[in-house]
Amino acid sequence: SHTWFLSVIQDEFTSGKIDLDSTVKLFEKLQMPFDFAHVKHAFKKIVDKRKENMINMEDFRSIYRNIIHRPEFQEIFRTYSPNNKVIVNTELIDFLKKEQYETEGCETTALEIILKYEPVEEVRKRRQMSLEGFIRYLSSDDCSIFKSDCRTVYQDMNQPLCDYFISSSHNTYLISDQLVGPSDLWGYTSALLKGCRCLEVDCWDGSNNEPVVYHGHTLTSKILFRDVIQVVDKYAFTASDYPVVLSLENHCSPTQQEVMAEHLENILGDKLLTSTLGDPDVTQLPSPEALKFKILIKNKKVGTIEEGMLRRNQGCQGETVEVTDSENMSDEDETDETAPLCPKSDSSKRKSDRRSSPPPRKKAKMKKKKLALALSDLVIYTKSQKFVNFEHSLENQKCYENNSIGEARARKLVKSSAKEFISHTSRFLTRIYPKGTRTNSSNYNPQEFWNVGCQLGMYVCRDCCIQGFVKTIQIQEFFSSNGIFSFLQLFHYIATLIFQLISGHQLPPSNLSKSNKADPLVHVEIYGVPEDQTKKKSSVVKSNALCPRWDETFSFTLQVPELALIRFCVEDEISLVSNEFLGQYTLPVMNLSKG
């Protein structure tokens, strides 16, 4: 191993010494994960004692060992290596069984690991593994805490669409705040590349008979509807083959609705779903598998799917139908949650909140909207239907009609009628949208609505890391399992989760530290049904951002592990009452890998 290491680095030291840039390049050549801040700090610590800003070969070896040869890796290596030099094939098999809980094919797996990760050729030929190879293996994705076979689709994708949680976004076009920030096509590109399957498109009349997308009644900028659809056409199936739902919040005149329909058909072509997959008399939603590579339009619709398909065959250009709010308007058009500049009075809110399932408001009954049949008839399996109450939906709603419910109202329904809510979501797609007062693009926690089966828990898809909503975006890691769609399948058993927090490595140093140090601690949080939600924390490791060590065991009892997420949040303890955020990682409990 020592001879191999020298053979790799010696050519870089032909002049005797190297600078910081060359040091970083040498780390890259050795193909080991490293953080620049820690390498720079270790380099500076050595050269500060000298007059020149260079290090020699022995200095580099010291930096490399300090950063890469983690004590906890060396300890477990020595446990399975009697001579402390190599682990032979049989010892690696023993390690896989005892430490990694591998039960099948350990002989084959051990050989594959050696061939893949052992860098020293002569050791590899002897079917052995050096410390360098062992470190490379433990630092690889093969040892990720996230089960590798759960990152791709592994669940049954042939059930009705309402049986799945769907990765969704709200006001997808906004890349900053909700009042004066810019609308940008990057919002749609970014969401689709992250695997989002339900995008919101807020449509208004634009100049030159071209519909525009922006947050109405605000100062946010505008983008062309046509350009949005071109982005969707380009990126819809880059991250996933499964269907994309375009949730249209339609405020356009009939004339511009026809332009929207024209753009959808001309740009999306065969990707756009314009007819049922089978019988037009739909009694059950199709599956994600059956809808692969299809784009669905979610909008208000006149009449049944069958009537719409007949109209399309006959041609309905220029035809419009006037509908009332209580017939076809969805909650998207209510002013209490989606128009932050025009909130309803407190008295009207209190009045409507007295019952968990209020009837349609009088104002909503009077509201009328003209729908262009050309756009209406593009809606197949995702017809927006105003939510009245659970009983009304059970008696009147068709399987292809879905509801949008405001965050505040939905939260009250969760508390007062959870069983009815679960029964509702088992039949109908249900979207929860944020309250309008979230003008800074903060997110609600979608977990509480996932708990009652809401498939379209919205979140604001952003690239920036504002601390106020970074946690909620991490909770969206629920969709890192099974690739975008997650199957709602509960087995009703209680599980005990036990794990050991061993160590950290190359953590971001505190912004307040000049010596590249931090006082890290780890918060371990469980998100899930109310009975499972809890938080614990580790002890504080003083002055160590490079390799803090905890060796602490945590235990959680989970009532519904299928809906549980575990979040690790690392903070730097600045004082007894204040911590600085350093990093986080969230994943579904059911996707935790043993070992």
Give me the amino acid identity at 477.
Answer: E
- Please, what is the Cα angle at 334 between 332 and 336, to 5 degrees? 115
pLDDT of residue 71: 94
Final residue in a domain of this structure, among 68, 94, 122: 68
- Taking each helix axis from N to C end, the angle separating 2-9 and 57-68, rounded to the nearest 10 degrees, works out to 120
Are 314 and 394 in a shared domain? Answer: yes
Q: Which among 2, 38, 69, 215 is annotated as catalytic?
A: 215
Largest CA distance in the chain: 86
Look at residue 489 and tell me if it is in a domain: no
Give the residue among 384, 420, 209, 379 at the shortest CA–CA distance from 295: 379
Final residue in a domain of this structure, among 40, 68, 96: 68
Kindly state the tokens that stand for 495: 């599980």
Are 137 and 60 in a shared domain? Answer: no
Are 400 and 535 in a shared domain? Answer: no
Q: HSE (CB half, 13 Å, CA atoms) of 483?
A: 19
Q: Is the pLDDT confidence value at 37 over 70?
A: yes
Number of structural domains, the chain? 4
Q: Which among 2, 38, 41, 170 is annotated as catalytic?
A: 170
pLDDT of residue 333: 43
pLDDT of residue 474: 53
**What does the H/E/C string look like for 239-282?**
CCCCCEEEEEEECCCHHHHHHHHHHHHHHHHHHECCCCCCCCCC
Are 308 and 451 in a shared domain? Answer: yes
Which residue bears the tokens 């909207």? 369
Look at residue 330 and tell me if it is in a domain: no
pLDDT of residue 472: 46
Which position has the higher pLDDT, 338 or 492? 492
Are 59 and 207 in a shared domain? Answer: no
Q: What is the pLDDT of residues 525-547, one digit of tens each?
A: 999 999 999 999 999 999 999 99
pLDDT of residue 175: 61
Give the residue among 269, 258, 367, 373 at the shortest CA–CA distance from 311: 373
Which position has the higher pLDDT, 262 or 469? 262
Look at residue 171 and tell me if it is in a domain: yes
User: For 414-494, where are the E strands, in sequence order?
Assistant: 430-433, 456-457, 485-487
Least confident among 76-80, 85-89, 124-128, 146-150: 146-150
Final residue in a domain of this structure, among 143, 176, 199: 143
DSSP 292: T
Q: Is the pLDDT confidence value at 126 over 90?
A: yes
Mean pLDDT computed over 283-294: 95
Look at residue 227 and tell me if it is in a domain: yes
pLDDT of residue 577: 81
Distances (CA, A) of 569 to 61, 140, 459, 590: 32, 21, 20, 19
How does the average pLDDT of the chain come out, rounded?
84
pLDDT of residue 484: 53
Are 202 and 136 in a shared domain? Answer: no
Gyration radius (Cα) of the chain, Å: 28
Identify the sign of the CA torsion 334, 336, 342, 348: positive
pLDDT of residue 163: 92
Q: Estimate to the nearest angstrom the gap between the alpha carbon of 497 and the chain centroid.
A: 23
pLDDT of residue 352: 38
Q: HSE (CB half, 13 Å, CA atoms) of 583?
A: 11
* CATH, residue 576: 2.60.40.150
pLDDT of residue 426: 94
For residue 215, indicate whether it is catalytic. Answer: yes
Are 543 and 469 in a shared domain? Answer: no
Look at residue 434 and tell me if it is in a domain: yes
Mean pLDDT computed over 119-142: 94
* CATH, residue 244: 3.20.20.190
For residue 170, indicate whether it is catalytic. Answer: yes
Q: What is the pLDDT of residues 335-362, one digit of tens each?
A: 334 333 333 333 333 333 434 444 444 4
- Taking each helix axis from N to C end, the angle separating 254-268 and 225-235, rounded to the nearest 10 degrees, works out to 20
Give me the amino acid identity at 479.
Answer: F
Are 63 and 44 in a shared domain? Answer: yes
DSSP letters, 478-525, are GGGTTTTEEE-------EEEEEEEEE--SPPPPTT-SSS---EEEEEE
Are 448 and 413 in a shared domain? Answer: yes
- Please, what is the Cα angle at 536 between 535 and 542, to 5 degrees? 135
Q: Is the pLDDT confidence value at 94 over 90?
A: yes
* CATH, residue 25: 1.10.238.10
Per-residue pLDDT band for 289 (boundaries 50, 70, 90) equals very high
Which position has the higher pLDDT, 478 or 303? 303
pLDDT of residue 514: 65
Per-residue pLDDT band for 274 (boundaries 50, 70, 90) equals very high
Look at residue 350 and tell me if it is in a domain: no
Are 318 and 446 in a shared domain? Answer: yes
| Distance in Å from the first CA to the final CA of the chain | 26
Range of the domain at 16: 1-68
On whether the pTM is more than 0.85, the answer is: no
Q: How many CB atoms lie under 10 A from the CB of residue 37?
A: 15
pLDDT of residue 123: 95
Q: What is the pLDDT of residues 417-475, one digit of tens each?
A: 999 999 999 999 999 988 766 655 567 788 889 899 999 875 544 333 333 334 444 55
- What CA–CA distance (Å, rounded) separates 572 from 4? 38
Are 573 and 445 in a shared domain? Answer: no
Are 425 and 537 in a shared domain? Answer: no
Give the residue among 308, 346, 309, 345 at the shortest CA–CA distance from 328: 308
pLDDT of residue 549: 96
pLDDT of residue 343: 32
Look at residue 374 and tell me if it is in a domain: yes
Mean pLDDT computed over 292-305: 94
Look at residue 320 and tell me if it is in a domain: yes
Q: Which residues contact 354 (CB under 8 A, 6 or more apart)?
A: none
